[in-house]
Structure 1
Amino acid sequence: MTLKEHLTNGLSNPSEPHSKLFLMNDSSRRESISGSVMDGLTIESSKATYTVYKIRWLILTLFVLYSASNSFQWTQYAIIEDTVLSYYGVSSAVVSWTSMVYMITYVPLIFPGSWLLDKTGLRVTTILGAFGTCAGAWLKVFSVPQDMFWLGFVGQTVVAISQVFILNVPPRLAAVWFGADQVSSACSIGVFGNQLGVALGFLLPPMLVKSTGTMEEIGHDFQLMFYLVAGFTSVLFVFILLFFKAAPPTPPSAAADLGSTIDSNFLQSIKTLLMNRNYVLLLISYGLNVGTFYAISTLLNRVILTYYPGASEDAGRIGLVIVVAGMAGSVVCGLILDKTHRFKETTLAVYTSSVIGMIIFTFTLDCGLIGVVYLSSIILGFFMTGYLPVGFEFASEVTYPEPEGTTSGILNAVVQVFGILTTLLYGWMLDEVGDRWANLTLCALLALGAAVTAAIRSDLRRQAAQNKA
């Protein structure tokens, strides 16, 4: 039901539960909360009634697990690069491409992916993405023989293509299912799913696939890892088919209600977004930050083993620390945004802290004490990966009422380009000039991103629409 219909029906039929009006003057406006286990929570404002449904938490949980099952496979090969090299006999560059294929495939496919999300809704695209993630995982099961790495790469590519139905979803899912006072937190939890998968992708492969042992033992380790992932994605695909829904029966907020009444034109939306000065600046700053994170994540094994030979499991755990700290940062930032709605200030503070964290990481890497590297990784991860949902939500604010799927889709497409370029630059510098200058270059890129963030104006359009409604 649209906002206009809420108003019309509220006057003609005051007893209708989702259209009740409170005719009060400005001094006596209030909110009341009621609801039931079946119907959810009803928020009644001075103009219209909006209901949030308890099933939204199941929808969000399924998305988190689905996103994690995909992002887990991003660094599945790269974090155990030394083992992959010895078992399959491929080059370091090929292993790096198992990570970068996620970035390469996303760029051309995000536009049809965003169009499909805009036209068909969350359920169709989620089913497609879950099926692709599951199919790619099963292809890897058959890539265990030492001469079958090419099949594993094909499976990795299928999973990477499926990512196009994941990265741009959190702000859309939050806006469609959650009320105005929970939308930033819900977006943060949605992004948390991607981070959870990356964290497990750093932690589990080095534990499951040991770098020591015979080729036969390593082969068994690979087979166990691939079977576990394929089994989990299969069960999750069935649950998504059974329980994942496109949208609630009624909009959860005034902003969602108004947005649902707007007929979006995909090409016109892209044109409008690219003409939005604040959004273009955010594309650059977000790309620099996340591109830096991609570069570090892809080449972390090589960087850590430079100073701590044989520390493959430590490399995985340091990656885990970076991402888990980022999860905490994401949740904290989401709560801050929901409480304060200070998007520009929060974004700039988190970004500046990312620069400081990267500088600390750079100058503690060669200290000889790997425990110190763990500590510096916590600081780096809390702010660098904690920035991810903040950037998503800020983009939704400055571009409202353009579709969140299109907004975040373009944002992520630009991120992949930055990720590819930054990873290639970082890898080249590690080989040619060493990690110190390579990391200082990343510090400079983050400092540039902070300066660009400072130039973004705080034009909170979604908040304005919510307040006016």
Structure 2
Amino acid sequence: MRHKQVHLLTLATLLFDSHGFALNGKRKLVKFPRSKTNVPDFQRPSFAVNNPELDDITLQPRVYPQRWIQLGYLAALALLSDWICFSVAATPGIYEETFHHSAASIIDIFLFTNVASSFLVTDTVAKFGLQRVIQCAALLMTLGCWCRSGVSFLPFLEGNSLMSYSFFVAGTVLVGAAQPFFQCTPPLLSAKWFASSERATSTAIALNFNQIGIATAFLVGGMMATSPVGLENYFGLIAVLCTLVTGGTLLQFADDPPIPPSLSELEKKRKGEKEPPFLESVQTFFATRGFTHALVAFICSISITNVVGAFIDEVMKRGGITGQLQIDLAGAGFELAILVGGILIGGFVDRTREYKKVTMACLAFSSLFVIPLGLTEHAIGKEPLLLLLSLFGLGLTVGSIQPINAELAVDVTYPGDETAVESVQQIGGNLISALLVPIAEFAAHQDYELLPQIPWAASDIRGDSILLLIITLLTLGYYSLFDAPLRRTMADAEAPEETDDTAIPSILYTVPENDSFLT
């Protein structure tokens, strides 16, 4: 009789589970809220993380194949947003000839809008959830693209005419307002969907995939935007691609997985922690030991990549690379190196948690690689090969600093809001970048003689390289003082708590083997 009761209890549990009910540790039936995922109802189990009354049920962290779809869409949206930001960086002359405004000014408009919008990301995500926010931001970016491109490029419409400068600026502002929702959420996505051994890598992909967007701007923009008509078709291509990616995001992007992927995230769910308002989080972060070191390193990295990317045409030409195709390929290679460095070096940090040592090594190498970008030795002349090697080396080292220190900031502020952490970093990084762009533009035309009295050692260096070198060395000196506990790493290392004898065995809550979300 007892054996039959157990089987009936198990059957009832599974039946009630499909309708949003579960048994708590005291064998009482309780209702729980649904997880906002695309898992079919008949495959969506009930979990202790969704109900405080189920805290005593033993759960093990799990990861799902859906996490790669999530990452893919966030990375694609980031790619498109920075492609739009730097869309005219490869051919600034055509843009200036068409709109009678400098290409650097439209980048500045984008970055300042980005900074203003970043203040809204954390509270918006907390109120509406990751899924809805990313989908709405994708729609906003698509609207901005069509404002920039218009519709006259479509083959079934006669005539070609670019949108007015006012419409172009309005579209740029819309895209700039949408971008922070793709840039500030990678650590949150990594925490929600990826195991502790994957987080730095997934954050590196999501954060640095925008560099592929900049590389695409150099390659595609350099080939298409060679005339006003080509510029219009180029903007139209971006609008169409953005529309397609947004459509996929609306159909496939999910919110939370059924079970968190790590013990630290599971513990946050069990405690039912609510994220505080953004400004309150900011005050807490700056009072947390180690946060400012990660912030300064992040700002240094994003500032260097943005400045070099914005003036890649000038950097290549003064180094002896003057062909437009060669400049475009060099710019694309720099952006690709940033992505590759983030993935490879981020993967190493995932395994070792050596945030400080790796970041300091990257800063040290970056300070060496930034010098040849503006240095000319008079006895040798221009050295295109050295310039390219330094450019790609700089991309590998300085680009990886962003995702590593995004994860470090989340680690030291645990259990703080991941989105708030990244919002602060993006605000700082993009604000400093926007301020540095005009300064670097001025400094690039300042030439400083070195050792002119010694013929074999005489050389000159441009002011923008000196500026970036000073920023890197100051960051390295400050970062060497980092000494803070890795709170999330310690939480992940803790063993899961055992339940008492009254808890329902976790076997009743096992996801079916054929669950399409489960690895």
- Read off the aligned partner of 2:205 and give its amino acid letter: I
User: Which residue of structure 2 aligns with residue 205 of structure 1?
Assistant: 221
Alpha-carbon offset, residue 47 of structure 1: 6.0
Higher mean C-alpha deviation, range 239-248 or range 314-323 = 314-323
User: Which residue of structure 1 aligns with residue 288 of structure 2?
Assistant: 276
**What count of residue pairs does the alignment treat as equivalent?**
424
- Read off the aligned partner of 1:406 and give its amino acid letter: A
User: Which residue of structure 2 aligns with residue 386 of structure 1?
Assistant: 400
Structure 1 residues 365 and 107, CA gap change in structure 2 (3 angstroms):
farther
Among candidates 169, 178, 181, match of residue 194 of structure 2? 178
Among candidates 146, 149, 160, match of residue 141 of structure 1? 149
User: Which residue of structure 1 aligns with residue 367 of structure 2?
Assistant: 355
- Read off the aligned partner of 2:95 and give its amino acid letter: V
Residues 39-118 of structure 1 mapped to structure 2, 5 A cutoff: 48-88=59-99, 90-92=100-102, 95-118=103-126
Q: Is the 8 A contact 2:114 2:430 kept in 1?
A: yes
Structure 1 residues 305 and 359, CA gap change in structure 2 (3 angstroms):
closer
User: Which residue of structure 2 aligns with residue 21 of structure 1?
Assistant: none
Alpha-carbon offset, residue 102 of structure 1: 2.6
Alpha-carbon offset, residue 312 of structure 1: 3.2
- Read off the aligned partner of 1:78 and give its amino acid letter: A
Is there any run of 5+ residues in structure 2 with no aligned partner, and where?
1-21, 28-42, 46-56, 152-159, 449-460, 496-519
Among candidates 122, 135, 141, match of residue 130 of structure 2? 122
- Read off the aligned partner of 1:226 and give its amino acid letter: F
Q: Is the 8 A contact 2:146 2:171 kept in 1?
A: yes
Separation in structure 1 between the aligned mates of residue 484 and residue 361 of structure 2, nearest angstrom = 14
Alpha-carbon offset, residue 57 of structure 1: 1.1
Using structure 1 for the length normalisation, give the TM-score: 0.84
Separation in structure 2 between the aligned mates of residue 262 and residue 109 of structure 1, nearest angstrom = 25
Alpha-carbon offset, residue 264 of structure 1: 1.8
Alpha-carbon offset, residue 308 of structure 1: 4.5
Residues 35-434 of structure 1 mapped to structure 2, 5 A cutoff: 48-88=59-99, 90-92=100-102, 95-142=103-150, 145=161, 148-210=164-226, 218-260=227-269, 261-266=272-277, 267-306=279-318, 308=320, 310-363=322-375, 367-433=381-447
Separation in structure 2 between the aligned mates of residue 39 and residue 346 of structure 1, nearest angstrom = 41
Alpha-carbon offset, residue 225 of structure 1: 0.9
Q: Is the 8 A contact 1:78 1:98 kept in 2?
A: no
Please, what is the CA RMSD of the aligned residues? 2.6
- Read off the aligned partner of 1:161 and give its amino acid letter: A
Higher mean C-alpha deviation, range 47-56 or range 235-244 = 47-56
Separation in structure 2 between the aligned mates of residue 39 and residue 417 of structure 1, nearest angstrom = 43
SS where residue 281 of structure 1 aligns? Answer: helix
Structure 1 residues 147 and 338, CA gap change in structure 2 (3 angstroms):
closer
SS where residue 85 of structure 2 aligns? Answer: coil
Using structure 2 for the length normalisation, give the TM-score: 0.76
Q: Is the 8 A contact 2:315 2:373 kept in 1?
A: no
User: Which residue of structure 1 aligns with residue 50 of structure 2?
Assistant: none
Q: Is the 8 A contact 1:184 1:337 kept in 2?
A: yes
Q: Is the 8 A contact 1:68 1:196 kept in 2?
A: yes
Among candidates 465, 469, 478, match of residue 452 of structure 1? 478
Separation in structure 1 between the aligned mates of residue 354 and residue 304 of structure 2, nearest angstrom = 25
Separation in structure 1 between the aligned mates of residue 162 and residue 235 of structure 2, nearest angstrom = 14
Q: Is the 8 A contact 1:343 1:458 kept in 2?
A: no
Separation in structure 2 between the aligned mates of residue 419 and residue 277 of structure 1, nearest angstrom = 25
Higher mean C-alpha deviation, range 313-322 or range 383-392 = 313-322
Separation in structure 1 between the aligned mates of residue 169 and residue 472 of structure 2, nearest angstrom = 32
Alpha-carbon offset, residue 273 of structure 1: 0.7
Q: Is the 8 A contact 1:96 1:298 kept in 2?
A: yes
- Read off the aligned partner of 1:85 and give its amino acid letter: E
CA-to-partner distance for each residue in 1:350-401, whole Å, 9 max, x for gaps? 2222112112333369943434322221111111112221121111111111
Structure 1 residues 246 and 437, CA gap change in structure 2 (3 angstroms):
same
- Read off the aligned partner of 1:195 and give its amino acid letter: Q
Alpha-carbon offset, residue 223 of structure 1: 2.1
Q: Is the 8 A contact 1:130 1:162 kept in 2?
A: yes
Higher mean C-alpha deviation, range 227-236 or range 312-321 = 312-321
Alpha-carbon offset, residue 11 of structure 1: 7.4
Normalized per residue, which structure has more helix?
A: 1
Structure 1 residues 458 and 351, CA gap change in structure 2 (3 angstroms):
farther
Question: Larger relative contact order (C-alpha < 8 A, sep ≥ 6)?
Answer: 2
Separation in structure 1 between the aligned mates of residue 313 and residue 165 of structure 2, nearest angstrom = 20
* Structure whose alpha-carbon radius of gyration is higher: 2
SS where residue 386 of structure 1 aligns? Answer: helix
SS where residue 332 of structure 2 aligns? Answer: helix
Structure 1 residues 310 and 148, CA gap change in structure 2 (3 angstroms):
farther
Q: Is the 8 A contact 1:171 1:408 kept in 2?
A: yes
Separation in structure 2 between the aligned mates of residue 224 and residue 192 of structure 1, nearest angstrom = 27
Higher mean C-alpha deviation, range 268-277 or range 391-400 = 268-277
Separation in structure 2 between the aligned mates of residue 253 and residue 330 of structure 1, nearest angstrom = 22
Separation in structure 2 between the aligned mates of residue 271 and residue 107 of structure 1, nearest angstrom = 18
Is there any run of 5+ residues in structure 1 with no aligned partner, and where?
1-7, 14-37, 41-45, 211-217
- Read off the aligned partner of 1:462 and give its amino acid letter: R
Structure 1 residues 309 and 356, CA gap change in structure 2 (3 angstroms):
closer
Higher mean C-alpha deviation, range 169-178 or range 356-365 = 356-365
